[in-house]
Structure 1
């Protein structure tokens, strides 16, 4: 897909990633287009799915979700039904902000947000259980976030 994007498309994406609320007129000025062609390009990037959505990035600690943990999950089985049921269960939990089905040592990797360690413990006991296909949970608690980006390199 990236090969079908020209230099102007990449510039548009770079600016939109940095500021999703950028006005079309400002975006057009920054990428060297007039407003109408710029808007058409943005619309095309949305239509083909390069731009999936627009969102606001929140400071988790300021809304009472100051703890982030990574949970390495081993499932009771690796068959399609178990994996699909687990994936559906994780999709329904707002505390799970990322869920990846893995190849390697664990079957899934979750990034979970909670108010504190006790909040995570309660979440784990309620949701990371056999009823959701979970056999074991190994939780890693980051000591420091060195890098956390949402922007992709173009």
Structure 2
């Protein structure tokens, strides 16, 4: 996973979908297939065909189209973090000190590389960076 994907995981996906909609129209069947794949991307064509009441060839053709358009970037898994001892999720707000030797963006990149940090987002307002962090306890997260 690249630093950009780690910092802005949803942004790239949203941009890809917007671009795809402009280039080639997505219809209701495409959206249904996407919804089913988001729920469980490990399902095979037969299972998707039964769930959506569509021929397997139609589903395969549309998945290929969605990949080609960049709407589907990859198939992935969803990990149960609790079973890995990282069941506590927290969002942490970070304030940036202007005039620092490091830029706000560079700081967010460095923080994103820390072990328990899943995502780091630059935000506007009173706070500067929003972190999505996981740990085994609030104490562990607090020590971050």
TM-score, length-scaled by structure 1: 0.67
Q: In structure 2, do the counterparts of structure 1 residues 59 and 101 end up closer, same or farther at CA, with 3 Å as the change threshold?
A: same
Please show how residues 48-59 of structure 1 align to structure 2 within 5 Å.
Answer: 48-59=69-80
- Give the C-alpha shift of residue 6 in structure 1: 0.1
- Give the C-alpha shift of residue 66 in structure 1: 2.5
Task: Select 2:109's aligned residue among 88, 96, 99.
Answer: 88
Comparing 25-34 with 42-51, which one deviates more in the overlay?
25-34
Please show how residues 42-53 of structure 1 align to structure 2 within 5 Å.
Answer: 42-53=63-74
Aligned length: 122
- Give the C-alpha shift of residue 8 in structure 1: 0.6
More strand by percentage: 1
CA RMSD of aligned residues (A): 2.4
The answer for unaligned runs of 5 or more in structure 2 is 1-17
TM-score, length-scaled by structure 2: 0.71
Deviation by residue 1:51-105 (Cα, 9 ceiling, x = unmatched): 23322222222211122221101112389x6122123213323411222211222
Task: Select 1:16's aligned residue among 37, 43, 46.
Answer: 37
